[in-house]
Structure 1
């Protein structure tokens, strides 16, 4: 037992109404008189109690954060230091985020549950989904349907969207769940969504042509800013611009794209093809 703890135990034996002699007790047990007095009067707690009171997150809140890191690791979205501070702020419902050095102290305390490592490599789960057999089966089925219904190349389109994180992404360390990291080798870092996003929509035809691109900016107001279109030449280029609060597509944007981009441009292309067929017939 430490001297201060022994001195406190001796003070517990005082009779009701008896005043403690902090100086004599401290000298007898070889501890600091001021500390003994504060501890006995409950003005000051133990170092462990002081540390617990000064912690940004309680034990329960930290376990909530660890559970969230495990979930993000399983989704190939290991958080960064900045994200960890954001999550801690939300869990605590605080006005300010913890300091820049808080993540380091926190991860040392929970080193058995989480790890901090570079997000490199390939997601094993995604690699397992890369099946040559499934690809072959898909294209064989596609080919049979094309022949069955006599679908022309100019009538086949493929549309996809791609989210782009504005700014420069550099290799950096992330927080991983130890269990998922060791069992599944989940090391790949996806876009964390913690910055501003812009989504591009592209549509390519099987005949080698493509439709005009579309860009979705992130804007809560739903308006397009002039600065976003500085390098856009209205005379030489055509592009569909819009915005959404998240910077991603939604039902309204998807419908508008079908009407104003896909439907309009494919109809114009079909009319042009029809005119060429007439010219060929007359020639």
Structure 2
């Protein structure tokens, strides 16, 4: 049973779908329930069974698997291509380290507190703390230089107007904008280049070129942005798609500490009996968080880990280092087939004949040989049964997912109501009403087609009749 389970787990890992440790107990119990009634367990295994199981199996190990988009797995070729493009640019003697910048936008949730360790009374039985959650996200466009500096940000509110109390905290040099969803667009991108980036970097650069590295979203490739960059000696370099988590300094070492320190600031003001964190609190909290997080050390660490400063000249080694956390992608042709029974039917038949021969000659030597061969046959049958059970459960699981997907895909994405809030019962009535209207429309369509067809038939019949001659 354990051999079959190990093969199943290794097979699922090769397919890129490793099984969680907490699910191993249920599979172990399913296999054990196939035993004879005398050896069948009555209770499922304990909570420590998965740990003891993989410790007994040298082929397995426990590992933490972070969720990662499939497109971000195999990026080694993109990394090599990126350094072939950016390498000559950074090696240009006219390009100074202080004139190389990386910009990106990040979403910051106003108030989403996590679990923290606190001191409480010994009589406290709650196990939780009071908090007000505000899931509104504010977009901040940040830009950092290769020598460890950060520019003043642009804050984008999810609104249609500016409000006085949103910017009551003094933030000299910051820019504020708004959009319907709170995200950047082509117009805001152009305004950021003109009003934020260019004024804060032009005097320092002098007549030297400026390099601006951005992600591959394509927002900064509009014609107006390209014309402005060309006129002001700004060179745009876009990262390859799905590589920003490894090649963009902002994503590597800037945004994570920024959001962590922002949450710390929210925790701090919560201790001051502040209720819901709103937009009016954001500038004060984010300003303090930027001072703590956007340090020269953090910014330089991001550029170094991205392989840009200092520049890694060996692109192959750099790609392997950056891509070291990746796993090999199994192509469709390399996917291991479903595990088959290790003993084929011919071998089982041959083993049966040997057992029958030993049974006819039951001396002491043949008894031992018979016991060994019987044990082999039992092991083979148990292994085959266990593998079949695991595959049957996996097929049942996949069939359930497929059936759910069929229903979801067959449902049209039609509007069934315009109310801001609707109950489930109202949705069902609306769906039934739409279905009834569609049926009536289809019936009228069929009736019209039938009527037209009958009219055409009658017309052809009348035209086909011979006219009788007039009698004098």
TM bucket normalised to smaller: 0.3 to 0.5
> TM (normalized to structure 1)?
0.38
> TM (normalized to structure 2)?
0.24
Q: Greater share of helix residues, 1 or 2?
A: 2
Structure number with greater Rg is: 2
Q: Greater share of strand residues, 1 or 2?
A: 1
